[in-house]
Amino acid sequence: MSLNLFTPDDTAILLIDHQIGTMSWGPLHRSRRDAGQRRRAGQGCQGPLVLTTSLEDHDQGPLAPEIATVAPDEYAARIQRTGVVNAMDDPAFAAAVAATGRRNLVIAGVTNDVCTVYPTLTALDQGYQVQVVADAGGSMSTRADEVALRRMENAGAGITSTNMILTELAKSWASPAGQALIPIVGELIPS
């Protein structure tokens, strides 16, 4: 992966399968508040956002409604896959990613060992630079999570955290992006 830092002008954010059913599965439990905060952060960074879900009418359930609240247009335009595991194998999703015109991708999937790993590997193979937001997802076990993150990193993805990518995109707290992110970063601090 290049050492060039991502900027709001050259980066698209992909949120993959942050669905209420999946977020409730045992060790995968993710706060729905966190999904909304990630999107709010994306708005603060002013980069394009591509959302996708898989089998919303099954156990995975609909996309977290908090995302619809903070990104109604993107929510309405989300790519609803019909079971394709690798989101980049879905022609509509791949086209939406290409349509952003951005070659730097921040990928956050609800499961690192399924939702995140395959689109990341495919995007890297297609010449994108990718940063994976490790704390935006999880896996059924710590070991599975470690293996997925290592596989993506070995393939060339940068592994980052929510706070790290937000501050990288902000560059300066005095910038418009930085000013928009200050309250969001504050909300991410555990109470």
Q: Which residues are catalytic?
A: 115
- DSSP per-residue letters across 104-142: EEEEEESBIIIIIHHHHHHHHHTT-EEEEEGGG-B-SSH
In angstroms, rounded to a whole number, what is the distance separating the alpha carbons of residues 187 and 190? 8
Pair 56, 63: CB distance under 8 Å: yes
Residue keyed to tokens 């300066």: 172
Q: What are phi and psi of 61, to 5 degrees?
A: 75, 180
Maximum pairwise Cα distance, the chain: 44
Is the separation of the CB atoms in 9 and 33 below 8 Å? no
- Return phi, psi of residue 62, to 5°: -75, 165
**Residue 35 near residue 21, CB atoms below 8 Å:** no
Q: How far is CA 191 from CA 4, 33, 96, 179, 184, in A?
A: 33, 13, 37, 22, 14
